[in-house]
Structure 1
Amino acid sequence: MEEFIIFLKLGFDHITDLNGYDHLLFIVALCAIYDLNDWKKVLVSITAFTVGHSITLALSVLNLVHFSTDLIEFLIPVTIMITCIGNLFLNKGKKQSAIFSLRYPTTLFFGLIHGLGFSNYLRSLLGNSNSIVSELLAFNLGLEFGQILIVLVFLLINYIFIKIIKVQKVSFVKILSAFLAGITFTLIVDKWIF
């Protein structure tokens, strides 16, 4: 049980580490279009992301998938940028429902990419361990708890801006997404592989 707690804490610390802010950027970009009333949609989105990265974490740690680390490090900020650009098209009506309908499968796919980014870190922690199931589960649960905490903090900030300060939701989403896209652009340039 002690080892389970250690990996749970490692997963939580990994996602909430400010030095790995690309993960934080993705979670905030993903949740930017939601508010507190959308908590079920947020939970589904975050869980889709966790399922995606759990799959590739497991496949990579078991050496069933091999990839270029440089390519994955480049693709992670690309996923953030795509999410931000999708947020910029948030409007009322049919366009918004189209964005929402693509949100879950896209998030699952992006989770696959992010999972590959986590995999080197987790593989180094596991070393030559024969049984990785409980460690992998604990690490992913820690990631999920950390993501939920980040989402709760973000949704409270969102609530303050939209409900208390009275910023229009569409304006808030677009300004935040443009800001996140600007930060992400520097990551893309920094990780450029072509």
Structure 2
Amino acid sequence: MSEFWFYFKQGLYHVLDWNAYDHILFLIILTVAYTFDNWKRILMLVTLFTIGHTASLFLAAFNVVSVNSRLVEFLIPITILVGALFNVFTAKNSAKNNKIVILYVTTVFFGLIHGLGFSSYFKMISSGAGSKVLALIEFALGIEISQIIIVIIVLIFSFIAQTFFRFSRRDWILIVSSIVIGMVIPMIIENKIW
């Protein structure tokens, strides 16, 4: 049971680590366009992101894929930028009008990229595990729970901004997405591959 809690906590802290806030920024971008009424869609998006994240961790942990960590560290903020730009260009649309299949597929793909960014650390911490598969499942559960916590916080902030401060849905999405763009551009420059 202590091994379960170890990997669960590692997954939990992986997302909630303020020093590695790229994961939080991606979750903000993924959910800022939604409200509590869209909880099923949000849960699906977050779960698909976790599936992509876990799949790439699995492939890396068993040496099926080998990654250039510099390229991955560059691509992670690119995925956040793409998501933020998507929000900016679709802010006037209702959350129900977005092409959901495209959103689901890109969320899994972005999860794959984000998972590769953590693969070397996971390989290191799971090297002594009795079962890497079990460790990965425990780790993924921690990630999923922490992502749900972040999403709930984003939804609460969105509710407060739109209800009490009277931001329109469109304006709120534009403000938050613009802030994230401003935060992610330095990350892209810092991790440039050219």
TM-score band, normalised by shorter chain = over 0.9
Distance in 1, matches of 2:181 and 2:96, equals: 19
Task: State whether residues 53 and 113 of structure 1, in contact with CA within 8 Å, keep that contact through their aligned partners in structure 2.
Answer: yes
Task: State whether residues 11 and 140 of structure 1, in contact with CA within 8 Å, keep that contact through their aligned partners in structure 2.
Answer: yes
Cα RMSD between the aligned structures? 1.5
Distance in 2, matches of 1:66 and 1:40, equals: 34
Aligned to 2:93: 92
Q: Which amino acid aligns with 1:51?
A: I
Distance in 1, matches of 2:138 and 2:80, equals: 26
State the shift of 1:97 in Å. 2.3
Aligned to 1:163: 163
Q: Which amino acid aligns with 1:136?
A: L
State the shift of 1:129 in Å. 3.8
Query: How many residues are matched?
Result: 193
Task: State whether residues 89 and 96 of structure 1, in contact with CA within 8 Å, keep that contact through their aligned partners in structure 2.
Answer: no
Aligned to 1:19: 19
Q: Which amino acid aligns with 1:183?
A: M
Q: Deviations over 1:32-67 (max 9, x none)?
A: 111111111110000010000110000000011001
Structure 1: gaps (5+ residues) = none
Q: Deviations over 1:77-128 (max 9, x none)?
A: 00000000000012236x9724444211110100000010111111110125
Aligned to 1:78: 78
Aligned to 2:133: 133
State the shift of 1:5 in Å. 1.1
Task: State whether residues 86 and 99 of structure 1, in contact with CA within 8 Å, keep that contact through their aligned partners in structure 2.
Answer: no
* Pair 1:60-2:57 in alignment: no
Distance in 1, matches of 2:100 and 2:56, equals: 24
Distance in 2, matches of 1:10 and 1:111, equals: 17
Aligned to 1:122: 122
Aligned to 2:30: 30
Structure 2: gaps (5+ residues) = none
Q: Which amino acid aligns with 2:124?
A: S
Aligned to 1:144: 144
Distance in 1, matches of 2:67 and 2:121, equals: 14
- Which contiguous aligned blocks of 4+ residues in structure 1 show a shift greater than 4 angstroms? none
Distance in 2, matches of 1:35 and 1:154, equals: 9
Q: Which moved more, 1:48-57 or 1:127-136?
A: 127-136
| SS class of match (2:22) | helix
Aligned to 2:40: 40
Task: State whether residues 129 and 135 of structure 2, in contact with CA within 8 Å, keep that contact through their aligned partners in structure 1.
Answer: no
Task: State whether residues 87 and 173 of structure 2, in contact with CA within 8 Å, keep that contact through their aligned partners in structure 1.
Answer: yes
* Pair 1:113-2:88 in alignment: no
State the shift of 1:181 in Å. 0.6
Distance in 2, matches of 1:106 and 1:28, equals: 16
